Amino acid sequence: MQSNVLIALGSNIESRLDHLKNAVAAFKGNEATNVVATSPIYETVPKGYLDQEDFLNMVVHIQTDLSAADLLSFCQSIEQNQKRVRTIKNGPRTIDVDILLIDEKVIDTTDLQVPHPRMHERAFVLCPAADIVGQWQVPGLNKTISALLDALPQAEKDDVRVAGLTLEDL
């Protein structure tokens, strides 16, 4: 049975747009994943570690037969293929591929937490997610993605702006 999955993508090392394009292409090229929808691309100021370039962020809705563990492994392979290096927490990256939601499941293992534990705090995740699946419920929070976005402080939302790019630009 196929699961509906929400994936967040982010990049702030040039070429940011190419890194997003390659990640989406990897999902499209995997016979076990079907890209249902892609959000507009947003530009976002960095959080945590500030001495870095702005990010491009987007969200992808996929359907897949992969187990959660196999999906995580596939997401990590996308990061490895794009030479993701983890040297500074919240630091620069070629690509970040995060599993946000898998159906209405709650998963809490050493390797994977779903829903993503900080998605409800991040406008750079909620803005693009609301564009394509705003009425999805987030398990454990019992609120829709749109309601979580509405609840964020305005200052958090002000750090996220539509980049004027869409999948067609990819």
- Residues with catalytic roles: 84, 93, 96, 98
Burial class (CB in 10 A: 0-12, 13-18, 19+), 75: buried
Q: Which residues pair with 35 in a beta bridge?
A: 62
Question: Closest by alpha carbon to 5, among 41, 32, 42, 43?
Answer: 32
Burial class (CB in 10 A: 0-12, 13-18, 19+), 72: buried
What is the spatial distance between Cα 117 and Cα 60, in angstroms, rounded to a whole number?
18
Distance of CA 101 to the CA centre of its chain: 10
Question: Closest by alpha carbon to 114, among 78, 143, 139, 149?
Answer: 139
Do 100 and 28 contact (CB within 8 A), yes or no?
A: no
What is the spatial distance between Cα 71 and Cα 58, in angstroms, rounded to a whole number?
18
